[in-house]
Amino acid sequence: MSTTSALDSFLDKWRDRWPEWEVAGRFVPADLQRTTLAWFALLQEFEDIMNISGDPLPADAKLAWWQQELRDWSGRRSRHPLGRVLEPVTAPWAQLAEALPAMQESRGQPLSMDAALAVLQPFAEAVVAVEAALFGRARPADARALAVQWLSTRMAVAGAAALPAGVELPAWRAQLLAQWPGKAALAQPHRIWSRLARLRLQREQAGQAAWAPPLQQLWHAWRAASGGA
């Protein structure tokens, strides 16, 4: 498989999970669209490591591989197709590598919302630090908003296993929504993605299909891209 084909396979996997991006992605500046897709596809790789079912050893081995790969990016050495897009950017890749064990820790049943967020906080801080470099965000970003989004993803895949004992799905969704700011202080591309993820959660909590109609997607993406609540 050529490098281009391999890259496209990772980008397409992310697009398959987020078909809303066909509409929402138009609000990302043209010069950032390729970087944005590669970055989100990379985050999806980490998400899959967190959400592994069954034997965790292959996922843990993959995590260790990614840790070394990210450290190598700091030295301008990449082996992965996503690295061909992302590694040329000077970013705190080593910080992200050191934060990846949070993916393993997040597989366990949390004691509470605060405990679950605390596990993800170092990872979320590393992600927003990388995004500051990728997308040129000078203002501080809201790592907690990103951690809440990650917990929502965990819940969507793992269901009750991602919830504290005795907490039902509607109650956990309500807690996530209460923690999730309507106007997340994130880099613009991730602000759009965060808004879409929050919209899915809101619709599920209301008993609706997760994917909103295209016009609703368009409105929420525009609001997020422009910085509106």
Q: What is the pLDDT of residue 204?
A: 94
Q: What is the pLDDT of residue 2?
A: 53
What is the number of other CB atoms lying within 10 angstroms of the CB of residue 65? 12
Query: Would you state the torsion angle of the CA atoms of residues 210, 213, 218, 223, taken in this order, to the nearest 10 degrees?
Result: -50
For the chain, 229 residues long, give each residue's pLDDT as a single digit of tens.
455 688 999 999 999 999 999 999 999 999 999 999 999 999 999 999 999 888 899 999 999 999 999 999 988 888 899 999 999 999 999 999 999 999 999 999 999 999 999 999 999 999 999 999 999 876 778 999 999 999 999 999 999 889 999 999 999 999 999 999 888 899 999 999 999 999 999 999 999 999 889 899 999 999 999 886 5
Pair of tokens at residue 20: 């809303």
Rounded CA gap, 54 and 161, in Å?
A: 13
Q: What is the pLDDT of residue 228?
A: 60
Pair of tokens at residue 92: 């705190």
DSSP string across 150-212: HHHHHHHHHGGGGS-TT--HHHHHHHHHHHS-SS--S-HHHHHHHHHHHHHHHHHHTTS-SSP
Q: What is the pLDDT of residue 77?
A: 86
Name the one residue in this structure whose structure tokens are 């987020």.
Answer: 18
Rounded CA gap, 104 and 225, in Å?
A: 32
Q: What is the pLDDT of residue 1?
A: 47
Domains of the chain: 3-226 (1.10.600)
The SS3 call for residue 5 is helix
Pair of tokens at residue 209: 């299909």
Q: What is the pLDDT of residue 229?
A: 57
Q: What is the pLDDT of residue 88?
A: 94
pTM of the complete model: 0.94
CA separation, residue 228 to residues 140, 188, 220 (Å): 17, 11, 9
Rounded CA gap, 229 and 226, in Å?
A: 9
What is the number of other CB atoms lying within 10 angstroms of the CB of residue 135? 21
